[in-house]
Structure 1
């Protein structure tokens, strides 16, 4: 009886050991299978995916280029067209169309022409001012020198009055400003040289009169010389400040039978 129980216990123990061994073997096989299955996935994940990356980069590059081209085209479309009236030079020459380049060239040509016209006009005004006002041989300079000589001559101041109150002016006009009255003068050129003949009014506290002068600049000379210069005051004899031998009007001497008569 006892031997039978011992045998049954031994058989049970051996069966339990066998079951545990089988279980351990199954667990080990499942673990190895899992490791075997996970390894190819990890290896596959580490492999370089060259075609896919290339396609992704090309797609991204095309998107960027298309966006940049669209932005540039939108910028160009937003820019107003250049015309000769609104061109300020901010748009580079390379970005202009053919018509816009023509418009800019026309505007620059017009601006250059205006500058040249301004230079010519400025030069003309400067030349006129120098020859008519500032030049020592201009009419204004000769007029001023003649007035100074009249004020410095005591014979004239005795008739007209205080030299500081003597006024000289041109012909009578509707303009009440005496300095704006034109001085009557003529200029001519002949074989003798350049002639300048003028007359003007002189007024003082006591009387008034007329001044006459004739200037001549002979060829080769740089300055004018007086042919005559005198002042007529009504009721008084003519006062000569300069007198040439045969150029003073109204004072010529005639000849009869070879005899000079006053």
Structure 2
């Protein structure tokens, strides 16, 4: 009996099965297209969307202009903020902490009244004395403003006149302040500091008259020796 050798059909070879027209196949081109579509797309850099993730060398010409514009705007904003902060500190110093401010002189005058035995005899315990300004018609205003006026005389000296109210456990009264800033100095000098309580004599803490000019007293434009 003879043996019959069977050969595999050429149609069943693996190489032929992969290239058979009726079978689906995935080419390298399709695989590369899928990989490229899955990769994140680069976002364009604009003035509003620049977050610094791309270096300067990676930017196009238009994107470099956008980044430069954004940095310029940020620089201007920082400068404006610094100028505004400096202005606030300057205003706070000149209006509150400077010895030439009316707030400073107000606090100083209040302390003078509290430390004077004649004033505490009329008003009461210095620890209970309160000082405040004028009443205001505005219901939104929390602080009572201090009545203050500034003016200059013929010699160029600056005058400050101020009055405020004080109240203690015994009585209440009004404090009058008149100060002058000479032309050769930058410090205020008292011309008058007095307390008036209704029904009592005026208490004068400071009172100075203007000295004679060149050894002569000038009144109404006439110099008197």
The alignment's TM-score, normalised by the length of structure 2, stands at 0.70
What's the CA shift for 1:165?
0.5
Structure whose residues are more often helix by fraction: 1
Alignment of 1:89-128 (within 5 A): 89-128=52-91
Q: Tell me whether 1:228 sits opposite 2:209 in the alignment.
A: no
Gap runs ≥5 in structure 1: 1-66, 248-262
- Report the 3-state secondary structure (helix = DSSP H, G, I; strand = E; otherwise coil) of the residue aligned with 1:78: coil
Partners of 1:210 and 1:92 in 2: CA distance:
70
Pairwise CA distance, 1:113: 0.5
* Partner Cα separation in structure 1 for residue 71 and residue 105 of structure 2: 46
Q: 2:176 aligns with which of 205, 212, 228?
A: 212
Residue 202 of structure 1 and its aligned partner are, at CA, apart by: 0.5
- Provide the secondary structure at the position in 2 that maps to 1:164: helix
Residue 187 of structure 1 deviates from its aligned partner by: 2.3
1:111 & 1:225 partners in 2: Cα distance? 48
Size of the aligned set, in residue pairs, is 176
Cα 1:243–1:135 change in 2 (3 A) is: same
Q: Offset at 1:138?
A: 1.6
Q: Distance in 2 between matches of 1:84 and 1:244?
A: 67
What's the C-alpha RMSD, in Å, of the aligned pairs? 2.6
1:86 lines up with 2:86 in the alignment = no
Quick one: distance in 2 between partners of 1:132 and 1:197? 16
Q: Which residue of 1 aligns with 2:118?
A: 155
Aligned-partner Cα distance in 1 for 2:51–2:152: 53
- Aligned-partner SS, 2:52: coil
SS of aligned partner of 1:187:
strand
Give 1 or 2 for the bigger CA radius of gyration: 1
Q: Which runs of 5+ in 2 are unaligned?
A: 1-31, 212-225
Measure, in 2, the Cα distance between the counterparts of 1:139 and 1:197: 10
TM-score, structure 1 length as denominator? 0.61
